[in-house]
Amino acid sequence: MSKTVHQRRPPASLTAAVDLVIFTVRDGRLHVLLIERGNMPYRGEAALPGGFVRDGEALDAAARRELREETGVADDSLHLEQLHAYGDPGRDPRGRIISIAYLALGPDLPMPQAGTDASAAHWTPVSSILDGQITLAFDHEKILRDGLERARSQLEHTTIATAFCMEPFTIADLRQIYEAVWGLPLDPSNFRRKVMKTEGFVIPIGERRLPDVGRPAGLFRRGLAETLTPPLTRSGSVDLM
Amino acid sequence: MSKTVHQRRPPASLTAAVDLVIFTVRDGRLHVLLIERGNMPYRGEAALPGGFVRDGEALDAAARRELREETGVADDSLHLEQLHAYGDPGRDPRGRIISIAYLALGPDLPMPQAGTDASAAHWTPVSSILDGQITLAFDHEKILRDGLERARSQLEHTTIATAFCMEPFTIADLRQIYEAVWGLPLDPSNFRRKVMKTEGFVIPIGERRLPDVGRPAGLFRRGLAETLTPPLTRSGSVDLM
DNA sequence: AGTCATTTAGGTAAACATGACCATAAGTGC
DNA sequence: GCACTTATGGTCATGTTTACCTAAATGACT
């Protein structure tokens, strides 16, 4: 047998799609953007937003385009990274479609509702999918779980938690992101110490925000650092339950 | 506009391939398995092993099959994980081919040379690609660099370094894996302390290996743990350079 | 004005982890 | 036995983390 043995079998011809796991944090809980499917299959069911990759279009570009179409948000203001490729035969009843899933993180955005694809989109608490209240079309629950695990891990090692925050933000805002994504309460004092000690994580802008109640909090914007050394460990939690 | 706006553009029809970054450690240096291409394009040049995904074949299955075809190694003895999908138009002159790259880690295997695809395969020091001595076809150098970064990161947070070792192995064997992948010398004493302290990383089998020179070393096999808590940091190195 | 609830901000001590280094153990070759 | 090599174990100063505690700054309430 020669090296070309697998060339004898015709390569499968298929279609590529991108699916997006778009996370945000609203009132202390992690939400994901879901759409209600307007076409068969799974018509009327909840699914991750996504669409087909076009001719001559790069994967990242397709993901950016879908993100823009689904959220109406300017391109570069959201964090977007490739998550995983899903290509099991039979994952889509329409045929052989492999999906490149992307993870997007953003602040709690005003969702444009009219005149765009986003009209069918809803922010949904992630917990309501994890506990089975809502089921997703295709293999989208698996994709969502993988995206959640990636987001949780990224918070430990990188500064992307700031992508969830609208600038300027307070240390408490940032802490709520961690608590929502990890599902754990954190000690405010220790959290602040770790964040402040990491050079370039957040930069004070010298102003303060007056809350409804309590002492005013210092305001910050994102720093230039991308990686956390040392990492923020998930273990340092307070057990309030 | 309705949700189906993007359905009007025909989805791109394309071909999917899997490419493999197969790492091993030989005499203290990290090596990657490369093949010499037998067909156009890039005929005669070095490339990562890989091939097309077949009709009805899952991505992971295609990667396993290629791994077996290229190395002649039993399926489940090597660590295999999906790395990233590469789909830029123009990355392959033959047409729109998106490649799902996989990362494989294994011990220094006896490579079957005759009668298989592996006849064109060679273990190549990763350093000789990074410093430009060897150039790779397609975008395979980018894929290799991504795979290397993934492997380096995985060694910090997981126990997959044991996948590089033939059982039973010594702590020094394991340390050499870390030194080869990270490209850093580590303190033997401190390394041992960290490995032993992590519950379920390695399990002593009570025997010892007689080396050519030096005190006999205790032998171990893989434990059940998959994650390292705390992580093994890359910083704890001895500067011998 | 004074008190209270609330939240931010900063500090402390014990436990723990780390890095650099030293000492001893257990083999081989001479 | 002696020199050499590698494995293994320990020490110690230093840094980090955790679980707290205290103080500061505000609005609400009386």
Q: Which has the higher per-residue pLDDT, B59 or B210?
A: B59
State the residue for tokens 């092993």: B49
In the 8-state DSSP scheme, what is residue B107?
-
CA–CA separation, A230 and B230 (whole Å): 11
Among the partner-chain residues B3, B16, B59, the one whose CB lies closest to the CB of A38 is: B3
Q: In angstroms, what separates the C-alpha of B2 from chain A's closest C-alpha?
A: 6
pLDDT 10s digit of each residue in chain A, 241 long?
344 444 456 777 899 999 999 999 998 999 999 999 888 899 989 999 999 999 999 999 999 999 988 877 766 778 999 999 999 999 999 999 999 999 999 998 777 655 566 567 899 999 999 999 999 999 999 999 999 999 999 999 999 999 999 999 999 999 999 999 999 999 999 999 999 999 999 999 987 887 788 899 999 999 999 999 889 987 644 433 3
pLDDT at A115: 53
Task: Write the CB contacts of A77 (distance below 8 Å, at least 6 apart in sequence).
Answer: A106
pLDDT of residue B182: 96
How far away is chain A from the Cα of B46, in angstroms, using its nearest Cα?
14
pLDDT of residue B11 exceeding 90: no
Q: What is the rounded distance in angstroms from the CA atom of residue A173 to the CA atom of residue A188?
A: 11
Cβ-Cβ contacts under 8 Å, A11 against chain B: 15-17, 52-54
Q: Which pLDDT value is given to residue B4?
A: 42
Contact A54 B11 (CB under 8 A): yes
The backbone region for B95, taken as left when phi is positive above 0, alpha when psi lies in -120 to 50, beta otherwise, is left
Is the Cβ pair A87, B53 closer than 8 Å? yes
pLDDT value of residue A4:
42
> Distances from the Cα of B53 to the Cαs of A97, B35, B236, in angstroms?
12, 18, 42
Question: pLDDT value at position A71?
Answer: 76
Question: Is A167's Cβ below 8 Å from some Cβ in B?
Answer: no
Q: Which amino acid would we find at residue A88?
A: D
B-proximal residues of A, 34-53, CB under 8 Å: 35, 38-39, 51-53
CA distance B227 to chain A (A): 12
- Section B70-78 average pLDDT: 74
pLDDT in tens, B123-163: 999 999 999 999 999 999 999 999 999 999 999 999 999 99
Q: Please report the pLDDT score of residue A238 as a whole number.
A: 45
Collect all residues with Cβ–Cβ distance below 8 Å to B65 and sequence separation of at least 6.
B51, B57
B91 in contact with chain A, both atoms CB, cutoff 8 A: no
